[in-house]
Structure 1
């Protein structure tokens, strides 16, 4: 097990550069197997999820070369093979291989996805989309087996019951090589979906409407990559550093951002009283003074992102008056970081899946556990704020989502390290 050790209470200062978007990257890597030629992705974050996806590619004899922030993927000699449950339990994004394999081979066998436990995240919309395209879907031995008809997938009109990012991306990947026209209604509008559509269009796909609530696709026989694709900046990583800068910063500039992707988040942070200067591709967060409590409600993009409700929580703990409220309308059970913050002295609680933040918290170091990626980010920010030593168990979850996080924190002046410790069976991960 990996553990993050933080000696907190020290002001941070300087510059930090945001990596490529995790939530784009974990879809773009599976999507690369749709290409009949080698693919180059630039701006790839150094995160554990990328390593896990590369392992899955190698299971199919796909060559990968990851140097600095450039990932070269050669799917020319790809071999269709099942991706068993044991291989895909480490990350939920493994389910993108369903759509990618279906689009490339007309069939896919993928174990049920793993990932963070943040409440129910069914894949029924993915399956209904595949079925609308003509595929047969079966569940056997903890695996999902998807098979296109002999004549191949066909275009269809698909209505999502809710705007799911995962279902939108998976159905796009399955339908880009399907015969005829596909229309997907009530789709998610996240920037990462536009990034995927841009990547596929540059390989010859015909996708229109990404970023709106309807996407139209004209199927093409095959895709071929010819130019490198640069991944958009990670808005969740950027938002986390904004919170960190406001909580414990003495002036921090955050580079490589697209500010409009953060509009809802920055509006809420500024409502608290944080002063931010925004330039074309960077922003500067001034040292925070007395801050106001706010109410936060997560919503699908362009609303306040569910992945940012935990990173903003430590910032609410710094407010001197008022009552803060956080309601996650996407994943109401995403509250497992709250008992851990209480161990650090936070005046915070959960009632009916609503997070209530009281003023006057005085944080101190403690031993806590990161049950998922964004909970880990929350505890990391709190640990940097809190005097004394904070130990975050399951810190591998932080490494799954945050690019070169220890290196970046060191550049800002933080005293932080990652160590390996024995788990309960005395085995290192």
Structure 2
């Protein structure tokens, strides 16, 4: 397996381009299943998860063509000849469950394996299924597969999510576009990826109101057409690279970055003493003098602090002045990076869903192991500010969510390289 070697090298300076959002693209790609006409996605990220979703869609009969080095995806589902999403593909990525709603809405039946993904808690799919049942879907779970059918087509209905779920909102939203009548989704997720999906579906002819609020109303249509749609910038990649100069010092401009995508995160950075400025081309982040201040963080659904930036924020707090408390309210078992940071000299006490971090003046390089996608990049960030060399092992997680991380950080002065495994 590959490893990433990072050596603390002082302040960073330069520009980092922000790719299209992985989580948005993985949701937009299954939307092709709703139409016989082509869907073209621009600003697509070049990641292993995108390849996995491409493989899944192709297994169902869709055509997926990468253009412009993978930054443009041309998709067509004019001839779906398979309605079974197989375990061997689905197990690699939780987002695979997002083919269920579109397939069911268009074809009236689908068989989808229960998904896999990062080991960050149970993350059940029951809300996906309950939302579809509210639209008349008949579901049967057996031998690890969801067998779904809607013989007369899906019907509009009202469903209130008992807890906010981004994936379930996305699945239900896509399915509802072809349901007969009106569907109302209450306590819906408000993330930018939801808004991006709704914009794409409207370009395809869907009738959707309220995306970005807690109540989304969808008036079903008989068919959807084709569209060309740009993927929204990746707010998690954006936040991650904003933390690089916050941890190391220096000044980095994140090209394509937008404040509205990371407002709560920026508020915590400002409180810690990190400067964030809007520019003509993105966001400029700088930390010039001394250690940052410790700040508390509570992860919440959007527009709150993102759970997918919690591990990276913890890396910053490891060398902050004072004690910070990070409370994880979205996923259980998401502090697996803490013991690895402690190998580098961090002082962290984890009790259930709360981590208390007492800042130290310096971290020290050490061999560490990535446990999931966001943990892997948090260890790289920590290595940027550590004394000596940090070797991050098992970085296959990293390639699921970050495109060209060594190149992007290297271009702003980081000393970082990938070592290929045997």
Distance 2:407 2:80 in 1: 35
Counterpart in the other structure of 2:77: 75
> Which secondary structure does the structure 2 equivalent of 1:73 belong to?
strand
**Deviation, structure 1 residue 403:** 2.2
**Deviation, structure 1 residue 263:** 0.7
**Deviation, structure 1 residue 11:** 2.9
Counterpart in the other structure of 1:180: 181
Distance 1:17 1:50 in 2: 19
**Deviation, structure 1 residue 8:** 2.8
> Which secondary structure does the structure 1 equivalent of 2:262 belong to?
helix
Counterpart in the other structure of 2:114: 112
> Which secondary structure does the structure 1 equivalent of 2:162 belong to?
coil
> Which secondary structure does the structure 1 equivalent of 2:15 belong to?
strand
Counterpart in the other structure of 2:260: 260
Counterpart in the other structure of 1:163: 164
Structure 2 counterparts to residues 20-419 of structure 1, below 5 A: 20-67=20-67, 68=69, 69-148=71-150, 150-226=151-227, 228-289=228-289, 290-320=291-321, 322-419=322-419
Q: Are the aligned partners of 1:80 and 1:105 in contact in 2 as well (CA < 8 Å)? A: no
Q: Are the aligned partners of 1:18 and 1:256 in contact in 2 as well (CA < 8 Å)? A: yes
Q: Are the aligned partners of 1:273 and 1:288 in contact in 2 as well (CA < 8 Å)? A: no
**Deviation, structure 1 residue 61:** 2.6
Of stretches 359-368 and 294-303 in structure 1, the one that deviates more from structure 2 is 359-368
Distance 1:282 1:123 in 2: 36
**Deviation, structure 1 residue 234:** 0.7
Task: Provide, for residues 143-196 of structure 1, a one-character-per-residue CA deviation record: whole Å limited to 9, x for no partner.
Answer: 111111x21111001111011101100001111101111011110111110000
Task: Provide, for residues 38-94 of structure 1, a one-character-per-residue CA deviation record: whole Å limited to 9, x for no partner.
Answer: 111000011111011111122123221212311111222222231111211111100
Q: Are the aligned partners of 2:346 and 2:359 in contact in 1 as well (CA < 8 Å)? A: no
Relative to structure 1, is the Cα distance of residues 141 and 420 closer, same or farther in structure 2, using a 3 angstrom cutoff?
Answer: farther
Distance 1:125 1:416 in 2: 41
Of stretches 195-204 and 403-412 in structure 1, the one that deviates more from structure 2 is 403-412
Relative to structure 1, is the Cα distance of residues 138 and 280 closer, same or farther in structure 2, using a 3 angstrom cutoff?
Answer: farther
Distance 2:110 2:258 in 1: 35
Q: Are the aligned partners of 2:246 and 2:274 in contact in 1 as well (CA < 8 Å)? A: yes
**Deviation, structure 1 residue 332:** 3.7
Distance 2:249 2:77 in 1: 44
**Deviation, structure 1 residue 281:** 4.5
For structure 2, the 5+ residue unaligned runs are none
Q: Are the aligned partners of 2:44 and 2:231 in contact in 1 as well (CA < 8 Å)? A: yes
Relative to structure 1, is the Cα distance of residues 348 and 168 closer, same or farther in structure 2, using a 3 angstrom cutoff?
Answer: same
> Which secondary structure does the structure 2 equivalent of 1:307 belong to?
helix
Instruction: Give the 4+ runs in structure 1 shifted more than 4 A.
Output: none
**Deviation, structure 1 residue 410:** 2.1
* TM-score (normalizing by structure 1): 0.95
Counterpart in the other structure of 1:427: none
Distance 1:6 1:185 in 2: 45
RMSD: 1.4
> Which secondary structure does the structure 1 equivalent of 2:85 belong to?
coil
Counterpart in the other structure of 1:425: none
Q: Are the aligned partners of 1:294 and 1:316 in contact in 2 as well (CA < 8 Å)? A: yes
**Deviation, structure 1 residue 360:** 1.7
**Deviation, structure 1 residue 244:** 0.9
**Deviation, structure 1 residue 415:** 2.6
**Deviation, structure 1 residue 352:** 2.9
**Deviation, structure 1 residue 275:** 1.6
Q: Are the aligned partners of 1:15 and 1:412 in contact in 2 as well (CA < 8 Å)? A: yes
For structure 1, the 5+ residue unaligned runs are 423-429
* TM-score (normalizing by structure 2): 0.96
> Which secondary structure does the structure 1 equivalent of 2:223 belong to?
coil
